[in-house]
Structure 1
Amino acid sequence: MGIVAASMFSDFKNEIYHLSLPIEDKEILNKKFLLDKDKEKKLEIYYTPFDYINDQARVVIVGITPGLHQMKKAYLTVVECKDRGWNDEEILHEVKKKASFEGPMRKNLVAMLDELGLAGHLSIPSTIDLFGSSSHLVYNTSLLPYAVFFDQKNFNGSRPDIMKTKLLLSYVQKYFVNDITRLHNPLIIPLGVNITRVLRYLMEQRLIESKYVLGGFPHPSGGNGHRHRQYRENKEEMKHQLDEFFKR
């Protein structure tokens, strides 16, 4: 199993348990779960139970931030686990499996990773297993681990610029940097150019060290109309990078 570091889950667990089903947006996008906001930059950050860290992971998949869909799936998973007699670590591990990149984005992500041959390198049938029976091999995370909304919409990592926004950068440093340094030279797969740019900045600032960052992987969101072209253009180079990582 992994670890639960600096978890706020205990502070919010009972509030989540008392949510009525189906979970409506207004039940979770309110002051009970609001962590931070910047009125001037139209930013709001809400608690999302993604506190589980797999410190033994061979692969780290990094998104920007949970969207509303993933946030609701995470809360629903906690409610579903309420009467199972599980401890916090077991509940939060289940949340990561059920809610990480959940939806069409996960389907796109798995298709691209399988085509690159990652499943073969990990000796599993498909990378869909990273969200189930082979979850011990992966740490699914985000630069901003709690759901961020810009102007009441899912934050896409472009506007405002994470590296020029004090609130967002503070969350990256407090959570992502702190968590990623617990791992031992995993393969890091950043989903898209915005994440890659922030990772490079963190490495330049010597806030994180990593020798193995996969370059060229597009963001798997259906809203990324360029993902097919980006993937095609970078596919062979990404395959080469994976071969080099797993040869070591």
Structure 2
Amino acid sequence: MSLFENYQHLMADAAFNLAGKPLHEDLLLSCEGSLQTFYAPFDHINAQARIVICGITPGLQQAMNALNEARRQLIKGASVAEAKQAAKETASFSGPMRPNLIAMLDHIGVQGYLGIDSCEQLFNSHRHWAHYTSALRYPVFLNGENYSGNPGLLSRDSLRHQIENHLSEEIRQLPPHCVYVPLGPKVGEVFDYLLGRGLLRPEQVLNGLPHPSGANAERISYFLGRKEKAALSVKTNAASLDAAREQLTQKVRQLRS
């Protein structure tokens, strides 16, 4: 029985409170010190994908969106497969992250590689080409707050377990021609690890994109050419972003050729 089916009765029960901070204790999967991992329905794998976007882990808002969409689907009589797909597609990179992500993908030319007008279409008319996932499939919280990559994703047993048993398995199930976009340096380290294990080929991985979080606003603005180098704060490394942008743009051009 899948994890979705294990928790299906709770998600389908309108009397069960899906809200909480971080989430209801009945959805708890594991604890490791101050790290807690909860279940939320991010299980669906898109076997038709051409591009895979990988974040760190679903945050509380994404988890709530997924749980509520799964509930809506189950109550209206959807199958398990339909509910899983709808929950994943509705919640993945929802909120303010989505326009930042779309803008950066378009900026490096991914829409041209895919033959679409904009990567915004990966969330609507061409969603069947995209697989959205996280290095840690199920939402992780540190001291009750969204986990943001510290301690490192490979540094704790409960975190490594998700990478070894969920992310690695997803990669094995996805088409061999998929292109992967890790979001931010923390996820980039995970993909370096997976490359070292031979699960992926270097040309498949577009590493170096800033994380689309609103907390990264200045880096994103500079990456997109919306902010001048002279106006940057000392916290933003312009040279690093310049190099990443150039390397990613070149790699996408190579994919197109």
Contact 2:135 2:187 in 1 (8 A): yes
SS in 2 for 1:197: helix
Offset of 1:23 from its aligned partner?
Answer: 4.9
Q: Distance in 2 between matches of 1:101 and 1:29?
A: 18
Offset of 1:113 from its aligned partner?
Answer: 1.2
Q: Distance in 1 between matches of 2:169 and 2:200?
A: 12
Q: Distance in 2 between matches of 1:124 and 1:90?
A: 26
CA shift digits 1:110-144 (9 cap, x unpaired): 11112222223222232122122211111100010
Q: Equivalences for 1:111-150 in 2 at 5 Å?
A: 111-150=103-142
Q: Specify the alignment match of 1:15 in structure 2.
A: 10
Q: Specify the alignment match of 2:234 in structure 1.
A: none
CA shift digits 1:65-118 (9 cap, x unpaired): 000000000011112212443211111111122100100001110111122222
**TM-score, length basis structure 2:** 0.85
Q: Specify the alignment match of 2:164 in structure 1.
A: 173
Q: Equivalences for 1:29-178 in 2 at 5 Å?
A: 29-39=23-33, 42-157=34-149, 159-178=150-169
Contact 1:185 1:210 in 2 (8 A): no
Q: Which amino acid aligns with 1:162?
A: L
Q: Distance in 2 between matches of 1:166 and 1:21?
A: 30
Q: Distance in 1 between matches of 2:112 and 2:95?
A: 24
Offset of 1:171 from its aligned partner?
Answer: 1.3
CA shift digits 1:186-218 (9 cap, x unpaired): 111000111111111122234x22331112211
- Identify unmatched segments of 5+ residues in structure 2: 226-241
Contact 1:62 1:188 in 2 (8 A): yes
Contact 1:119 1:126 in 2 (8 A): yes
**CA shift in 2, pair 1:20/1:113, >3 Å:** farther
Q: Is 1:228 aligned to residue 221 of structure 2?
A: yes
Q: Distance in 2 between matches of 1:79 and 1:100?
A: 16
**TM-score, length basis structure 1:** 0.88
Number of residue pairs aligned between Structure 1 and Structure 2: 237
**CA shift in 2, pair 1:73/1:116, >3 Å:** same
Contact 1:217 1:231 in 2 (8 A): no
Contact 1:216 1:231 in 2 (8 A): no
Identity %: 33
Offset of 1:164 from its aligned partner?
Answer: 1.7
SS in 2 for 1:37: strand
Q: Distance in 2 between matches of 1:20 and 1:243?
A: 52
Q: Specify the alignment match of 2:255 in structure 1.
A: 245
Contact 1:7 1:51 in 2 (8 A): no
More displaced, 58-67 or 119-128?
Answer: 119-128
